[in-house]
Amino acid sequence: MRLTLSSSGPRKRAWLSFVLRTGDNVNILKRTIVVLFVITAFLSCHESKALNWPENVKTAFFIPQEVRSRNDYELKGTYQTIFQTKSCWPGGQYIEMIGGYMSQRGWKKLDEDPLNPGLNPHWRREGSLTMKWGHFIDKDNKDVFQWMEGWEDIETNLVRYSLKYRNERKDNVLISPESCDIDVIIIFTPKDIHQKIMEELKALRNKDGK
């Protein structure tokens, strides 16, 4: 599988282009140094938040070498990263890469989604891989295929992977092997936060049951 990199949006490309065009009297070496400085500064700002995360969080995320549009967040005690990469439908190789990476680091794939007890995770569903993906239509009338799986370590920290293909239907074809852009969300939930969430869900279920 070959992954591609698109490191910046239109504004940043325009900025770099502006740096290259200005200073006509400056020699090529100086302009090259300026560009390298700008790129380094941009990457440093982008990665700074994730670099400050605990080591067990950083190593729990399988992130391909080449991604685009990556953003890192901290939300209510959880650590989240979002990016897009290349893996053509139905993403079997990418799913296997996640499994290999997590298993080698001592994580166990969950047989049940703790947030949705009784509902089989995608990997446990019957049928071929293409049949195991979830499917819905989003607000833009695009077909969305979703894959979710959870992993737990020995300390009961939880990592959830969410993979999505968004495809515009053509000639009644929902999706094809030519669909290769995959959106990835990874969420690390520390054990204390996970326990709190489960207690709140249990309380809600008990309330609804009364």
What is the token pair recorded at 24?
Answer: 């006509």
Give me the pLDDT at residue 117, please.
77
Higher pLDDT, 153 or 45: 153
| Per-residue pLDDT tens over the stretch 14-29 | 333 333 344 444 443 3
Give me the pLDDT at residue 29, please.
37
Tell me how far apart the alpha carbons of residues 126 and 159 are, in angstroms, rounded to a whole number: 23
Closest CA to 180 of 160, 164, 158: 164
What is the reported pTM? 0.73
The stretch 158-167 carries a mean pLDDT of 96
Q: Is the pLDDT of residue 68 over 70?
A: yes
The stretch 1-13 carries a mean pLDDT of 37
The stretch 106-116 carries a mean pLDDT of 89
